[in-house]
Amino acid sequence: MSIEFDTIAAISTPPGEGGIGIVRISGDEALEIADKVYQLGNKKISEQVSHTIHYGNIVNPKTNTKIDEVMVTVMRAPKTYTREDIVEINTHGGVMATNKVLQTVLQFGGRLAEPGEFTKRAFLNGRIDLSQAEAVMDVIRAKTDKAMHMAVTQLDGNLSNLIKNLRQEILLTLAQVEVNIDYPEYDDVEEMTSKILVEKAKEVKEQVRQLLDTASQGKILREGLATAIIGRPNVGKSSLLNVLLKEEKAIVTEVAGTTRDVIEDYVSVKGVPLRLIDTAGIRDTEDIVEKIGVERSRKALADADLILLVFNQSEPLTEEDRKLIKVTEDHNRIIILNKMDLETQVDIPELEGLVDKESIIQTSIVTQAGLDELENKLADLFFSGQTGEKDATYVSNIRHIALLQDAETALEEVIDGIESGMPVDLVQIDMTRAWDYLGEITGDSVQDELITQLFSQFCLGK
């Protein structure tokens, strides 16, 4: 059963020029408001069949001023995004057209929606749970095919169903424990009840652990792998960025120190989403601007999940090269010997003594040699050549990961409590805590303040 709310409206398309703009209205008075501002002879939007679209004009009835020529879509509850009556006004794209239509709608009964309020209503009206609502933003923010697939899978309810099944298993176990305690039929009821609890705790804990094991890959798929391209000036860092992105993102010249700031962009390499960070060449310099860039490069290095450490193999290793090898030794890294089309001057045996031999790849940005090997290395390094099963359920949301970790801890305490001889009624408390933590993922046992905070992060109109 849906909850009664006032009627809200917002622009649901990005600002700027485009083919169309959409003003969405949701609530009990959506059709009534549409009747006030829509005009085409004697036609009324409120009399139209659900899930139909109608040509007409949006007019300010007070001044009889035509605002825009539009197409109006009618969607009646409950088969809508919010499970409320929804009207979507398709205007001409552009800032003025959509804003004028929205202002007219607000003038005649609508309230401006808060960020994420349409999706919040979908959650509160029971059409989706909280994890599915969060997946809506993941769909919007997805930067690669893999991230998009993961978000859509979660939106379809894969994670929700898994969590609900785990909660149901815990609930049935707790109910059985209560029956055993209240109506004991055997002298060894305490022992039997303890056995039931510990077996179920171990079973659920194993499934929670399997989900947590996907967290690192899920985070990569969702956010991209922070990958810093590090090296001395003029070794080919910006050229490598450009060739991976397949566009001229960074300026490339023969002048050392051309890149003076950090440049970021996203790319999918063999299914691995990378957040590529091209850094200023790290070296000692007196140039004030370049010095700032070098400091930012050092910070990017410290924060990176992966380092692409680039050397110019047509020059011998320098002291600066050796310093970079030292400062990156605790990072995941791939050593790239660039400019293999030129005569080799690097002492390869010396380099192999300083780094893992398997991490070295020779490339030439000019001839494109070695780039396939680099891409395969990236895939092998993080996904053993693949990103996992097509329909695997990945956990990537930080909130979900924290709650799964809390649930795992509570289940461990159930097992420890039983093994140390604690009374069953005390152990039940930890089992119930695990049930509550899992419920917070789907929104079944979540606080109103958290709901408000989560939906405030959504874009306006979603």
pLDDT tens per residue across all 462 residues of the chain = 445 689 999 999 988 888 899 999 999 999 999 999 999 999 999 999 999 999 999 999 999 999 999 999 999 999 999 999 999 999 998 889 999 999 999 999 989 999 889 999 999 999 998 888 888 888 887 776 777 777 788 888 888 999 999 999 999 988 888 776 666 555 555 677 888 888 999 999 999 998 888 777 777 777 777 888 888 877 887 788 888 877 654 433 343 444 434 567 777 777 777 878 776 555 444 455 445 555 666 666 777 788 888 888 888 988 888 888 888 888 888 999 988 988 888 888 888 888 888 888 999 888 889 889 988 888 787 665 444 444 456 777 888 889 999 999 999 999 999 889 888 888 889 999 999 999 999 888 766 776 777 777 777 677
76 assigned to some structural domain:
yes
Q: In the chain, how long is the greatest CA-to-CA distance? A: 87
Do 228 and 354 sit in the same domain of this protein? Answer: yes
Domain count, the chain: 3
Q: Where are the beta strands (DSSP E) in 270-392?
A: 272-278, 306-312, 333-338, 360-362
CA distance 293 to 280: 6
CATH assignment at residue 180: 1.20.120.430
Whether residues 76 and 175 share a domain: the answer is: no
8 Å CB contact between 198 and 411: no
**Does 371 lie in the same domain as 228?**
yes
What CATH number corresponds to the domain at position 119? 3.30.1360.120
Whether 192 and 251 map to the same domain: the answer is no
Same structural domain, 399 and 379: no
Evaluate whether residue 60 is within a structural domain.
Answer: yes
Question: Do 110 and 184 belong to one domain?
Answer: no
The answer to the question of residue 460 being in a domain is no
By C-alpha distance, which of 226, 124, 119, 210 is closest to 162?
A: 210
Considering the domain boundaries, does residue 448 fall inside one?
Answer: no
* Strand ranges (E), 192-287: 225-231, 263-269, 272-278
Is there a single domain that holds both residue 43 and residue 144?
Answer: no
Residues in the chain: 462
Q: Is the peptide bond before 78 cis (omega within 30 degrees of 0)?
A: yes
Residue 388 falls inside a structural domain: no
Domain identity same for 244 and 341: yes
| Any domain includes 165 | yes
* In 49-188, alpha helices (H): 95-107, 117-124, 130-141, 145-155, 158-182
Q: Which residues span the domain enclosing 316?
A: 223-383
Q: Are residues 362 and 233 in the same domain?
A: yes
